[in-house]
């Protein structure tokens, strides 16, 4: 399950290798969660963020696979 397959409305796509470096692009006044297909890569990103002192993050257990299985809405990418 990747970005093009569907994502949560309002989500920002930051590839795993760029996440820590690009955190300043995210709005400071909104809660933040990290998701991937199943939760493994997002756990790795959460660990990297924590090492950088960014500790208020949520890892969505089960990732996008669990999100879709629970019946929550997703949007499909139309380009980029």
Task: Note the pTM of the prediction, 2 decimals.
Answer: 0.78
- Please give the CATH topology (third level) of the domain spanning 3-69: Oxidized Rhodanese; domain 1 (3.40.250)
Q: How confident is the model at residue 75 (pLDDT cuts 50, 70, 90)?
A: very high
How confident is the model over 52-73, as pLDDT tens digits? 888 888 998 899 999 999 999 9
**Rounded distance, CA 45 to CA 19, Å?**
7
pLDDT at 31: 82
Give the CA-trace dihedral at 27, 17, 62, 54, to 10 degrees: -50
Comparing 79 with 28, which gets the higher pLDDT? 28
Residue 1: is its pLDDT beyond 70?
no
């Amino acid at each position: 399950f990747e970005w093009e397959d569907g994502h949560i409305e309002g989500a920002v796509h930051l590839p795993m290798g760029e996440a820590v470096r690009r955190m300043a692009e995210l709005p400071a006044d909104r809660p933040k969660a990290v998701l991937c297909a199943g939760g493994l890569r997002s756990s790795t990103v959460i660990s990297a963020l924590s090492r950088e002192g960014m500790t208020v993050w949520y890892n969505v257990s089960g990732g996008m696979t669990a999100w879709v299985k629970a019946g929550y809405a997703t949007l499909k990418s139309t380009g980029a």
